[in-house]
Amino acid sequence: MDLTSTAGLWLAVVLSGLYHGLNPGMGWPLAVSASLFERRLSALWLSLGALSFGHFVAMLGVLLPFSLMNVLIEHQREIRIGASLIVIVMGVYLIITRRHPRFLTRIPPQKLALWSFFVALAHGAALMLVPIYLGLCSFENLDNGHRAAGILMKTTMLAFGVAVCHTIAMMSAGGIMAYSVYRWLGLKFLNRGWLDSELLWAFSLIIVGFIGLLTSI
């Protein structure tokens, strides 16, 4: 499948959601911790719901400004190149710093939605979607003849669609991981040879940014 086609880009939205969901840095271990602490399975699903909501709001918070920029049709190529470069820079920054922002530790554990929102922003999870989203916008056949309001409506609805699709995939993958650890694998699973997820995440941002850059030129 051509990843630059509409179907390929929507597949990328889903795959990025699955990837975010599987990444322990996005919070599913906190859902396991909450369910074990409260000794009830329902706490796991409530925690996952809060994490997903925060993640969804973060996605929209980043995508919607770019939907406004798409009104500038004649500069769409420059916008896509700029967004890809931002994603690459974010990945390089994470490789250099290699640590969680300190302010995240000040968020109370019970405020999972707020924590998830800031984690998605601080680690560039929302930025990772931008090149994919802008690629989808290029298939909307927008031109200078369209009214700005019509363009904005299309790109805004597309941003909501991308955020919803991505978040559902993210919650599904994270939910499977959290439930598996809670029900069968146990906490020892979390200590077994996880890859350096921070480094892997940073390189993923760089790769997505370069792909977005190459498809924009």
pLDDT digits (tens, 9 = 90+) for 155-167: 788 889 999 999 9
Alpha helices in the chain (DSSP H): 6-22, 28-38, 41-69, 76-97, 112-122, 125-137, 148-180, 197-216
Q: What angle do CA 191, 119, 97 make, to 5 degrees?
A: 75
> pTM of the entire structure?
0.82
Q: What size, in residues, is the chain?
A: 217
Cβ atoms 62, 122 nearer than 8 A: no
CA distance 134 to 209: 12
Q: Which two tokens stand for residue 3?
A: 């990843």
Q: In the chain, what percentage of residues exceed pLDDT 90?
A: 13
CA distance 47 to 182: 13
Read off the pLDDT band of 195 (50, 70, 90): very low
Q: Between 68 and 175, name the one with better pLDDT.
A: 175
Cβ atoms 174, 22 nearer than 8 A: yes
pLDDT of residue 74: 57
pLDDT of residue 166: 92
Cβ-defined contacts of 75-81 (< 8 Å, 24+): 76/134, 76/137, 76/138, 76/142, 77/216, 79/134, 80/131, 80/134, 80/135, 80/138, 80/212, 80/215, 80/216, 81/213, 81/216, 81/217
pLDDT of residue 58: 92
CA distance 171 to 20: 9
Kindly state the average pLDDT of the residues 164-180. Answer: 91
